[in-house]
Amino acid sequence: MYRLSSLILLLLGCFPLLAQSPHGDDLDMDCVKCHHPGGWYINYQTIQFDHSKTDFQLEGTHANVDCKLCHSTMVFDQAPMDCASCHADIHSQSVGNDCVRCHTSETWLVDIIPELHEANGFPLIGVHSNLSCIECHNTDSSNLRIDPLGNECINCHQDDYAATQNPNHQQAGFSTDCVECHNPLGFGWDSESINHDFFPLTEGHDIQDCAQCHTTGNYSDASPECVTCHQEDYTGTMDPNHATSGFSTDCVACHTTSPGWMPAIINHDFFPLTQGHNIQDCTECHTTDNYSDASPECVACHQTDYDQTNNPNHLAANFPTDCVACHTTNPGWTPAEFDHDQYFPIYTGKHRQGETWNDCVECHANPSNYADFTCFTCHLQPEMDDKHSEENGYEYLSSACLECHPDGD
């Protein structure tokens, strides 16, 4: 018996030299590290093969599995390492074949469902955190088939959307993206977060009863025009009467959304209300009930001012009635600047102010009529007669001077 045992050991020791290993050429280790000298059986308590040095570590329940369940052939490296090769897909390919996405080697129970949903772009928050999987995922009779869903609200809530009545979302043309109005962190369909930025609900428009503006039941056909809601307000105005005054029906041209329509700021840029024109009583200029027919001509408001001038008398002097030719909107009509050079140059050339004259009366001897002028204050006879002795038709008249010397030369 002793000789037989020695022969077996000798044969086992020489086996690698005499025969090819049934485990494949890549397994390079001494047989006795796994097999008992008394036969080819394996003592799992004394086995010396370290599976952790392979590409598939034996963790969890894999550490207690019979080798043959995974290694169906004697060539160990032919054993597949993907989950589906050993584990039947009870989900019917509805979630893929990579078991480790959801399961661990310890148990088949899944305890990272919230993390999985968040990674897929649909976090389970609010009322979604209390739902059973089968309430969202179409499953088979075993509840093991989990078909994926889209991340859009309408993928689950089409029936809810279609069944709405107050208001009817479908008829009103509401968005099917529920989170635009409903809070996903909440536990019901109550909404306090309607995004109404396309028509801001500020101050006077910050109302709670949607039906005050949405009168038809169709929430998509409400007009953004002011007069749609405020026609009665417009026609009922008295101070001033907007309808008879021809005011615009676009309320925002003058009003904000402040309650009571105040303050009102009219954009009067077409006729700037600066300095003396910065008045608070509109009726000082708008003397009729029609605010659209007020004339922008100065004399329309200032005819009396024009007629009563004395220094100089504008009417007698035949001054233009276009006040801005000389005046700004400064109160008191001063300073006034008259562009005399457009008629006769007195600020440039030989007749320049300060060199030949200082007061208007030096040329305009008649202060009641600035249309009259004289050249003879400076240009006297007989000097002028002598200088024009060779001019045919010469007359000693101021109008003749201007006719021949319009630029003062």
Task: State the Cα–Cα distance between residues 296 and 253, nearest whole angstrom.
Answer: 20
Identify whether residues 106 and 167 lie together within a single domain. yes
Whether 215 and 201 have beta carbons less than 8 Å apart is answered as no
Task: State the Cα–Cα distance between residues 93 and 17, nearest whole angstrom.
Answer: 48
Q: Is 173 among the domain residues?
A: yes
Q: Is 236 among the domain residues?
A: no
Q: Is 253 among the domain residues?
A: no
Task: State the Cα–Cα distance between residues 183 and 167, nearest whole angstrom.
Answer: 17
Q: Is 144 among the domain residues?
A: yes
Identify whether residues 72 and 107 lie together within a single domain. no
Q: Is 207 among the domain residues?
A: no
User: What DSSP designation does 323 have?
Assistant: G
pTM for the predicted model, two decimal places: 0.40
Q: What is the domain range of residue 116? A: 99-191
Domain boundary among 162, 191, 220: 191
Q: How many domains does the chain have?
A: 3
Domain boundary among 35, 50, 81: 81
- Assigned token pair, 29: 């280790």
Q: What is the mean pLDDT of the chain?
A: 82
Domain boundary among 160, 191, 222: 191
Distances (CA, A) of 67 to 12, 58, 128: 22, 11, 43
Task: Map tokens 């059986």 to a residue.
Answer: 41
Identify whether residues 159 and 187 lie together within a single domain. yes
Q: Is 210 among the domain residues?
A: no
pLDDT tens string, the chain, 409 residues long: the values are 444 444 444 444 544 444 577 888 888 888 888 888 778 887 777 788 888 888 888 888 888 888 888 888 888 888 888 888 888 888 888 788 888 888 888 888 888 888 888 888 888 888 888 888 878 876 666 667 777 788 888 888 999 999 988 778 888 788 888 888 888 887 888 776 677 877 888 888 988 788 888 887 777 778 889 999 999 999 998 878 888 878 889 998 889 999 888 888 887 877 888 888 888 778 888 887 777 778 888 888 899 999 998 877 888 777 888 888 889 888 888 888 888 887 888 888 888 888 888 888 888 888 767 778 899 888 998 899 998 988 888 889 888 888 888 888 8
Select from 160, 166, 274 the least CA-distant residue to 214.
Answer: 166
Task: State the Cα–Cα distance between residues 87 and 84, nearest whole angstrom.
Answer: 5
3-state secondary structure of 317: coil
Q: Is 28 among the domain residues?
A: yes
Q: Is 221 among the domain residues?
A: no
